[in-house]
Chains A and B, each alone.
Chain A
Amino acid sequence: MTSLSDVRSPSRTGTGLALRGVALGRPGAPVLDGVDLDVAPGEILTVVGSSGCGKSTLLRTLAGLLPPLAGAVEQDGHRITGPAADRALVFQEDALLPWRTLRANVELPLAIRGVARSERRAQAEAWLSRVGLAEHARQLPHRVSGGQRQRTQLARALAARPRAVLMDEPFGALDAQTRAGMQDLLVDVLRGTGATVVFVTHDVDEALFLGDRVALLGGGRVLAVRDVPRPRDRTAHDDPVRAALRREVLDSLGT
């Protein structure tokens, strides 16, 4: 039986992702152009922008699902040419396979990596209990709530111990309270994995709570990348530095 500490232990450190002079979108109609962005190993970079600004496209390019129109997308200096288990993607929509139980869904990336059945079952159960779904392991996705499905997606993404986790508005469809709980859970679960995280959202407070840095997208380009003050605090709105940053992010969403 795999213990939780085993799951939690940092197996590898995060990986560095980089976009160099990248153009994204459909040929002839790029949604993003001239993107230069570095994601440092182990950091959480949140990407904010209004809908349709190319956030998801950016993430899918980093995942390797979509080739860039121009420029280079790199992981630790090597060009990304296709999807790989090393960069897990958590989808905005429900991406669990509906005919698999929650546990079988979490087992899938492990099965693809060739982990033996009993071992992957134990690991999947450990991950599910890590996200608080131990007693739902044998339920089908449509029998549990939307928040529970997203938690399962998170467990599935982390199960294969990727060095980068790409998250596409994973909590976008959840109500405010569930969303805050999921953010706390995410921070908690990520601690110790050392994974690099790129988290796309259109929610200012989510971006500022989760991100070590926040990248602002608008008008087809990256407007700015800003450091976020630490420690994480949802309530410190009157802190002048945070307030100014929050205003800047909100302004960028207006463009």
Chain B
Amino acid sequence: MTRRNAPIRNAPSRDAPSWNVASRYALRITSIAAALGLWQLLTSLDVDLWLRFSQFPTVTDVARAFADRLAGDDYWTDLTDSLTRILAGFLLAAVLGVATGALVARSRLAEDLLGTVLEVVRPIPAIALVPVAILLFPDNEQGIVFITCTAAFFPVLVSTRHAVRALTPVWEEAVRTMGGGRLRILASVVLPGALPGIFGGLSVGIGVSWICVISAEMISGQYGVGYRTWQDYTVVDYPGVFVGMVTIGVLGWLTSTAVELAGRRLTRWLPRTSYVPGVRPPRRGRGAATPVPAGSRNDARAKGRTEEEVPHDQLV
């Protein structure tokens, strides 16, 4: 039997040669280019059907505005302000969410004390907490971080709670019979075992964080991408508004990719299926004979292929 010693992260690409990877990236770039091209076409031709593109800035307008902004200081101040706020809020939410989620899942007392309160607060949209933030915090900055943190906190909390409750009981029993106490179980079983679920919550959380940090900046910020975008809107600088939107989009994409990559890195131990999206199994012709069981030539061939393609852990 062939044993695969290749690292797991290589597994999905084992059927896909490198030119295939390159072509996938080419495809992604093409799709972005096509979207931009369509935008440019509709706006430069001033298409006015039911949707009206005549007032809409063209791609080149936006690009020119973008270049101007990049040259100035304000853009970078806005960028770092927004990033500081979201990172502070999100990291705080990650720590608090995992801690509270694990606590509520593991302790009946904590569930009784906190469970109901949390469930009542959870449906309130974080952006509706702006008045609360204004009342509570002496400083706008802290208010925005508070709102961002609250937004990301609940997805992390809920996913952690579910992941901890769904842990395989025998893992904990094994550590208990080795003489491990509560802290050891928490560190060696609960947290690593719940990590795949926790990262689900973190992925959702980072997305919600962006929505809330931008909204909060629009309402009460000084500096920040959201603040700037709203300012541009009030002075009818539409290319500027689009610069803001593109900035938010790219930053959001970068941060959620970072969370995604960190998650994949930390949960590399998860058994992966041999299924590779988009890679079709070898197709038989329409008229070709289906493999006949027991001893036929076809069967022997099919068997050889099974040994080759079924991952090691499914063969035993």
Contact = CB atoms under 8 A, between A and B. Distances in A.
A98 B178 contact: no
A109 B178 contact: yes
Interface centre among B178, B184, B269, B313 (most CB of A within 10 A): B178
Interface string B175-187: 1111110001000
A88 B271 contact: no
Contacts of B267: 99
Interface string A70-96: 000000000000011111110101111
Contact of A108 (B175, B271, B315): B175
A34 interface: no
Given A97-B171, A113-B179, A145-B315, 10 more contacts: A83-B173, A83-B179, A86-B179, A91-B174, A93-B170, A112-B184, A142-B269, A143-B313, A147-B316, A160-B178
A146 interface: yes
B312 interface: yes
Nearest to A174: B316
Contacts of A147: 316
A69 B230 CA distance: 69
B176 A65 contact: yes
A133 interface: no
Given A97-B171, A97-B188, A142 B177 contact: no
Given A95-B171, A97-B192, A83 B312 contact: no
Contacts of B315: 145
A214 interface: no
Interface residues of A, number: 31
Interface in A141-162: 142-147, 160
A64 B4 CA distance: 40
A63 interface: yes
Interface centre among B173, B176, B179, B189 (most CB of A within 10 A): B179
Contacts, number: 75
Contacts of B4: 143
B178 A85 contact: yes
Contacts of A93: 170
A83 B270 CA distance: 29
12 contacts: A83-B173, A89-B174, A91-B170, A95-B170, A97-B174, A98-B271, A99-B269, A112-B175, A112-B184, A140-B269, A142-B271, A142-B313
B215 to A, nearest CB: 38
A160 B267 CA distance: 28
Interface in B153-178: 170-171, 173-178
A160 B315 CA distance: 32
Interface centre among A83, A88, A96 (most CB of B within 10 A): A83
B252 interface: no
Contacts of B170: 91, 93-95
B176 to A, nearest CB: 4
B269 A108 contact: no
B190 to A, nearest CB: 11
Nearest to B180: A112
A99 B189 CA distance: 10
Interface in A83-137: 83-89, 91, 93-100, 108-109, 112-113
A143 B177 contact: no
A88 B171 contact: no
Contact of B177 (A65, A96, A113, A140): A65
Contacts of A160: 178-179
A104 to B, nearest CB: 10
